[in-house]
Chain A
Amino acid sequence: MTAAPGVYVRGTARVGGKTVFGPLDLSAPGGEWTCILGPSGVGKTTLLACLAGTADGVVLEGAAGADDGRPLAGRVALMAQSDLLMPWLSALDNVLLGDRLRGDAPRAGRAGCLLGRMGLEGMEGRKPTALSGGQRQRVALARTLIEDRPVVLLDEPFSALDVARRAQMQELAADVLSGRTVVHVTHDPAEAARLGSRTLILTPTGLREITPPAAPLPPRRPDATETLALTGRLTRCLLDAA
């Protein structure tokens, strides 16, 4: 993997003349984990779509891209709330989807290894319908990882999981995604407080940065004093914005 570039979205996004977000200036520094919180319908997912290049029908008056000047296409991976697994493929084949679409030799060994690391050993042959929600999310994470892209966009990936599973997945993700530029959209202040090296709140009027404590470094313990304090501050900001 090459050094992870920082990414930015500047300007205003409109769909059919209606403003979805902006004007704003979001920049996520390279190799860091940026969390974006905000009420529903404020354009968080559209923001990620602008970075991913999948924002069909969205007019961005401004720019989105990487700060190293090269195009982002092909350097972005996305993990969404719905796991986006193909129901007709086994877990292993889902992880190998990118290889197949590129026409590369499928790296079955590497995929199996990643699935094993996600605690899915022996489940490679199962179809998504035979996996639990948490297991499906872990398959999706394995697929995100095998792509080895420097920029990873997360769109509420853990919101469907129970508390313990979510904490586990957060730690796993923080571990395996370290060194990459992560833009993480979430509804959960506690999640942002655990994972973000930067935490931003997106409201209809724009972005607001809440500076996390310098120590401890993410992933912070869910019940550490600093995490709880940051959770409180983020919650207060969200309540004020509503």
Chain B
Amino acid sequence: MPKTLTTETLPESAPEQSAPLNTVPLRRARRERILSFVMPVVMLCAAIGFWEFQVWYHEIPKYLIPAPSVIAQTLVTDGPSLMASAWFTVKLTFFSLLLAIIGGVILGALFALSRPVELSLFPFAVILQVTPVIAIAPLILIYVDSTFAALLICAWIVAFFPILSNTVIGLRSADHNLRDLFTLYNATPWQRLRYLLVPSALPYFMAALKVAGGLSLIGAVVAEFVAGAAGQNTGLASRIIESSFRSEIPRMFAALVLVSLLGIAIFLLTNWASRKVLGHWHESELQRES
């Protein structure tokens, strides 16, 4: 096939504005854009400043509530060891998300294509989903030798279900009139999947990815908390537990900051991916002029 039909962005001619440009709404839009960036930053800085001030003013000892500056200092001094832990958590989160995507999409496609497969396997998926991972984790840790693999399984269980269920719904959501159109064009089943079902499923998949991205981090942290008691790994969650045993509160906060940053990074990354994939055609990501 000379040129493939994908949902990637095609080179688009500059959008023509037929209506005369009105400068007032334009200026308002620019102010809106600046505000939407400035306000969160200002508020966040103010909150941190308030925290710093309160700790200093009331002379709260750092083993109760450390000041942001102390946390920052800990981040620097404990940097190398914390970064190693963070890297462990990143790997765990990333691989569990990757496996969740692979497993969820393959199983979702099977479910969508075959009703008997769905009916027979769906109960298992639901059982996996509704059983709290924290309750299964100790068992998995006993049965699986490698701690990393055990943690991976726990995080995967949490992240996998949204991808599975949304893939199934997405693959079934193609407009039936478009299906008829493909029949008229004598499309092969493969073409139908490639050019109709998959693009129709993408908005659902991207929504699931946003959810699963956050969940895989939660799964990774929760699983580490359970395994942390065994003290065999070096993720951020086990650093938090370890620090709490030693009453090193600033280090707990520092690890917590890193977990939050990781979560934010995942959120931004999945949002960006969704905008990249859907931004040029899907309602959910379209930029309206008005």
Contacts and interface: CB of A to CB of B under 8 A. Distances in A.
B59 interface: no
A52 B196 CA distance: 19
A177 B125 CA distance: 53
A160 interface: no
Contact of A97 (B2, B10, B185): B185
A116 interface: no
Contacts of B181: 78, 84
Given A90-B12, A105-B2, A54 B183 contact: yes
A93 B195 contact: no
Query: What secondary structure prevails in chain A residues at the interface with B?
Result: loop
Contacts of A78: 180-181, 184
Interface residues of B, number: 32
B212 to A, nearest CB: 22
B118 to A, nearest CB: 20
A84 B178 CA distance: 6
Contacts of A126: 12-13, 15
From A73, A87, A97, A103, residue with most partner B Cβ within 10 Å: A87
A18 to B, nearest CB: 19
Query: What secondary structure prevails in chain B residues at the interface with A?
Result: loop
Interface residues of A, number: 34
Given A88-B199, A90-B10, A125-B11, A103 B1 contact: yes
Interface in A92-126: 93, 97-98, 100-103, 105-106, 122, 124-126
A97 B1 CA distance: 12
Contacts of B187: 101
B28 interface: no
Interface in A56-83: 73-74, 76-78, 80, 82
A89 interface: yes
Given A100-B1, A125-B12, A87 B180 contact: no
B177 interface: yes
A198 B280 CA distance: 43
Contacts of A89: 5, 281
12 contacts: A52-B183, A54-B180, A73-B186, A78-B181, A87-B282, A88-B7, A98-B185, A100-B1, A102-B186, A124-B13, A126-B15, A129-B281
Interface of B: 1-3, 5, 7, 10-13, 15-16, 175, 177-178, 180-187, 191, 195-196, 199, 202, 280-283, 286
Given A54-B183, A86-B196, 15 more contacts: A52-B180, A54-B184, A74-B186, A78-B181, A78-B184, A84-B177, A88-B7, A97-B185, A100-B3, A102-B185, A103-B1, A122-B16, A125-B10, A127-B280, A127-B281
